[in-house]
Chains A and B, each alone.
Chain A
Amino acid sequence: MAHDDPIATQRVDLVLMAEMVERGARVLDVGCGDGTLLSLLAERRGVDGRGIELSREGVNQCVARGLSVVQGDADTDLFAYPDDAFDYVILSQTIQATRRPRVVLEHMLRIGRRAIVSFPNFGHWRVRADLALSGRMPVTDNLPESWYDTPNIHFCTIRDFVALCNELNARTERALALNSSGQPVRFNMPWWVWNLFGEQAVFLLRRG
């Protein structure tokens, strides 16, 4: 069961995010799903974790695991949290599905001393090639839904995200891009390489 041995079977981005979190920290996972990352963080990093999740099934799985998770929405429920309530606020593969990504990110940087964001990179060469060659919205293994079915309404590229961080005056403490086999792209590569070969990205941010 993934619950019993999370590291071994985990999504690479979750493991990388978990490694960015200091031991014993207070963490809010926005869009926490079935609580896999929160469980991982509790077991491996000893964190005091909380979660927000849209789906009832996810919330129930989390509560049954003993996690503190509320049914809610990143777009509407972050306002209630006070400033600096958490050491880290995590948004894993969710920012592209929010209605107002900029506002969500602002709240994350307000609520948490640090924010960790992972997202699919719409600038990946396969996405670009799909759009350029077929003239249709890309459908890939990583982004399997057609445009009319997808919950992802605000796709961005790594460079777009960096631009948003600059606009919000957020400082990037660490950034990782993962290629299609889940391996980190070498960090000494320039941004355009990341933006082309990174299938997903993970950013550790703090207020500037």
Chain B
Amino acid sequence: MLVSADIAPVPASQVDEPDSLVARFGADRPLVLDSGATLAPWQIAYQSYGTLNADRSNAILICHALTGDQHVASRNPITGKPGWWENIVGPGLPIDTDRFFVLCSNVIGSCMGTTGPASLNAATGEPWGLSFPLVTIRDMVRAQAMLLDHLGIAQLFAVVGGSMGGMQVLQWAASYPDRVFAAMPIATGPIHSAQNIAFHEVGRQAIMADPDWRGGHYLQAGVRPAKGLAVARMGAHITYLSEAALHRKFGRRLQDRDAPTFSFDADFQVESYLRYQGESFVERFDANSYLYITRAMDYFDLAADHGGVLANAFRGIKTRFCVASFSSDWLFPTPNSRAIVHALNAAAASVSFVEIESDKGHDAFLLDEPVFFATMRGFLDSAARARGL
């Protein structure tokens, strides 16, 4: 059996009372969404590292990817694993917590302490489920901006993020150019491509096909669509790797056996690996959150928001950019980054761009890539000099 259905749900404590800082907004400060809906009350969970300087100019906001969370450099309270970017964020690391005040918040629609479909709807006393309004990348950024207002940070020194985090970085620059001194969108693109929407749709259909999804009302029923969510994760996980990386890691090697078993058991190591990825994912993620956040990515089209011309998103911007892509990333391939760079050039913005050579696929932005680290360090150091930090 792939995954047992009676697996422990995401601990409710992380959904409403997370092991991190939380900013709560009452009915007087609703979050106004692109869909036209307003959310109130609502909350945003975040972590911070380092110290905010006296003139509040050294803050770096890190934007997380689809299934990431605010625990960028601290132990994940559910998995017990280290933070997802501990190789980049910390004392003396490229995002140096001895110099910078680093913030990372959980996105709106997620399930790690920021309001999302697993949260309790105060009006009904029930989990939101599918009655939660659809959210967009711009809504995520709007929520982050309200968090910064709450913390009294007028301008960020930098916004940094990969994949969906990179979309948020681009949206930050487009929505609040004066609040962003430097921006680093990594392994991302100005739109979500047809191929990427297609993969997301497969994942969503896998979740919805699970009888335990119950039309989105599984929390009330005390069950979870663990099988569907695991399959969604397995499919998505393939898109984060590359053929070269899969070949190097697994090849056609068999899992704890000398010969195929002539069954549908996980004979191959790659099957066993994917099953493990699926199973461990469902322990920490809410299925409806997965539907909402994948949808937010699908809707992302920065040019469409600016008359169909991407450069219009960046007209007159003073922010300095550093765009990075990875050579084997086929989810957000290098031409996506080049489109961003060309638009920034057309807007006469300050931009650096490098494609990092790596065979690790999209996931490379989370892994140890020394050239990438050196690029980020060089960019942030020079931006810090320009900012007088």
Given A80-B345, A81-B346, A82-B348, is A63 in contact with B355 using a C-beta cutoff of 8 Å?
A: no
Q: Judging by beta carbons under 8 Å apart, are B353 and A71 in contact?
A: yes
Note all chain A residues with C-beta closer than 8 A to B383: 66
Q: When chains A and B are docked, how far (Å) is the Cα of A67 from the Cα of B320?
A: 10
| Of A63, A77, A80, the contact of B352 (CB 8 Å cutoff) | A63
Q: Judging by beta carbons under 8 Å apart, are A70 and B352 in contact?
A: yes
Interface residues of B in 350-389 (CB under 8 A from A): 350-357, 371, 374-375, 377-379, 381-383, 385-386
Q: Judging by beta carbons under 8 Å apart, are A50 and B357 in contact?
A: no
Q: When chains A and B are docked, how far (Å) is the Cα of A70 from the Cα of B371?
A: 15
Q: How far is the CB of A26 from chain B (nearest CB, A)?
A: 8
Note all chain A residues with C-beta closer than 8 A to B323: 70
Q: How far is the CB of B188 from chain A (nearest CB, A)?
A: 16
Contact mask A51-73 → B, CB, 8 Å, 1/0? Answer: 00000100110111111111110
Note all chain B residues with C-beta closer than 8 A to A59: 352-354
User: Closest A-chain residue to B343, C-beta based?
Assistant: A80
Interface residues on B, range: 20 to 34
CB of B62 closer than 8 Å to a CB of A: no
Interface residues on A, range: 20 to 34
Q: Judging by beta carbons under 8 Å apart, are B375 and A64 in contact?
A: yes
Q: When chains A and B are docked, how far (Å) is the Cα of A95 from the Cα of B379?
A: 29
Q: Judging by beta carbons under 8 Å apart, are B348 and A66 in contact?
A: no
CB of A85 closer than 8 Å to a CB of B: yes
Q: When chains A and B are docked, how far (Å) is the Cα of A59 from the Cα of B357?
A: 13
Give the A-B contact count at a CB cut-off of 8 A.
72
| Of A50, A60, A66, A82, the contact of B354 (CB 8 Å cutoff) | A60
Q: Judging by beta carbons under 8 Å apart, are B346 and A63 in contact?
A: no
CB of B342 closer than 8 Å to a CB of A: yes
Chain B binding surface, main DSSP class? helix
Contact mask B292-316 → A, CB, 8 Å, 1/0? Answer: 0000000000000000000000000
Q: Judging by beta carbons under 8 Å apart, are A56 and B382 in contact?
A: no
Q: Judging by beta carbons under 8 Å apart, are A63 and B379 in contact?
A: yes
Given A56-B354, A71-B353, A82-B346, is A63 in contact with B341 using a C-beta cutoff of 8 Å?
A: no
| Of B351, B357, B381, the contact of A70 (CB 8 Å cutoff) | B351
Contact mask A35-50 → B, CB, 8 Å, 1/0? Answer: 0000000000000001
Q: When chains A and B are docked, how far (Å) is the Cα of A67 from the Cα of B353?
A: 11
Q: When chains A and B are docked, how far (Å) is the Cα of A127 from the Cα of B383?
A: 46
| Of A50, A60, A66, the contact of B385 (CB 8 Å cutoff) | A66
Note all chain B residues with C-beta closer than 8 A to A62: 352
Q: When chains A and B are docked, how far (Å) is the Cα of A77 from the Cα of B345?
A: 9
Given A56-B371, A60-B374, A66-B385, is A71 in contact with B354 using a C-beta cutoff of 8 Å?
A: yes
Q: Judging by beta carbons under 8 Å apart, are A64 and B374 in contact?
A: yes
User: Closest B-chain residue to A26, C-beta based?
Assistant: B348
| Of A66, A70, A82, A85, the contact of B341 (CB 8 Å cutoff) | A70
Given A64-B374, A64-B378, is A70 in contact with B350 using a C-beta cutoff of 8 Å?
A: no
5 tightest CB-CB pairs across the interface, nearest first?
A66-B382, A64-B378, A80-B342, A70-B353, A80-B345
B binding-site residues for A, Cβ under 8 Å: 320, 322-323, 338, 341-343, 345-346, 348, 350-357, 371, 374-375, 377-379, 381-383, 385-386
Q: Enumerate 5 A-B pairs (CB-CB under 8 Å) in ascending A order.
A: A63-B378, A66-B381, A66-B385, A80-B343, A80-B345
